[in-house]
Amino acid sequence: MTQSDPTRRPVAVITGASSGLGRGYATEFAARGADVVLIARRAERLEELAATLRSLHGVAVDVLPADLADPAAPQVIADRLGELGVRATALVNCAGFGTAGLFENEDPARIAQEIAVDVTAPTLLARLLMPDLLAAERGILLMVSSTAGHQPTPNLAVYGASKAFVTSLTAAIWRENRGSRLRVLAVCPGPTATEFFEAADSRQFVVGRIGTIAEVVSASFTALDRHSGPVRTIGFGNIARSVGAKFAPRRLTLMVGDKATSGKK
Ligand SMILES: NC(=O)c1ccc[n+]([C@@H]2O[C@H](COP(=O)([O-])OP(=O)(O)OC[C@H]3O[C@@H](n4cnc5c(N)ncnc54)[C@H](OP(=O)(O)O)[C@@H]3O)[C@@H](O)[C@H]2O)c1
pLDDT digits (tens, 9 = 90+) for 123-143: 999 999 999 999 999 999 999
Average pLDDT score over the chain = 93
Cβ–ligand 1 contact at 24 (below 6 Å): no
Q: How confident is the model at residue 7 (pLDDT cuts 50, 70, 90)?
A: low
Residue 263's pLDDT is 61
Q: Is residue 159 annotated as part of the catalytic site, yes or no? A: yes
Residue 202's pLDDT is: 65
- Give the per-residue pLDDT at 25: 98
Predicted pLDDT at 245: 87
Which CATH superfamily, name and number, covers 11-262? NAD(P)-binding Rossmann-like Domain (3.40.50.720)
Question: How high is the pLDDT of residue 2?
Answer: 47
Residue spans per domain, the chain: 11-262
- Beta strands 90-93 and 183-188: pairing type? unpaired
pLDDT at position 257, please?
A: 82
Q: pLDDT band at 148, cuts 50/70/90?
A: very high
pLDDT band at 155 (very low <50, low <70, confident <90, very high): very high
Ligand 1 lined by 165 (C-beta under 6 Å): no
Q: Measured from the CB, is residue 177 less than 6 Å from ligand 1? A: no
pLDDT of residue 4: 42
Query: Out of 97, 159, 165, 196, which one is annotated catalytic?
Result: 159
Is the Cβ–Cβ distance between 39 and 19 less than 8 Å?
no
Q: What is the pLDDT of residues 73-92, one digit of tens each?
A: 999 999 999 999 999 999 99
Distance 191 CA to ligand 1 centre (A): 12
* Residue bearing the CA closest to ligand 1, atom 45: 96
pLDDT band at 199 (very low <50, low <70, confident <90, very high): confident
Whole-number pLDDT of residue 17: 98
Altogether, the residues listed in the chain come to a count of 265
Identity of the amino acid at 82: G
Mean pLDDT throughout 48-69?
98
Which ligand 1 atom lies nearest to the CA of residue 95? 24
How many whole angstroms from 65 Cα to the centroid of ligand 1?
Answer: 14
Q: How many CA atoms lie within 13 A of 108 on its CB side?
A: 0
- 178 Cα–ligand 1 center, Å: 29
Res 189 pLDDT > 50 = yes
Confidence of residue 3 (pLDDT cuts 50, 70, 90): very low
With a pLDDT cut of 90, the percent of the chain lying above it is 80
Strand 90-93 versus strand 61-65 pairing type = unpaired
Categorize the per-residue pLDDT at 203 as very low, low, confident or very high, splitting at 50, 70 and 90. low
CA of 195 to the centre of ligand 1 (A): 8
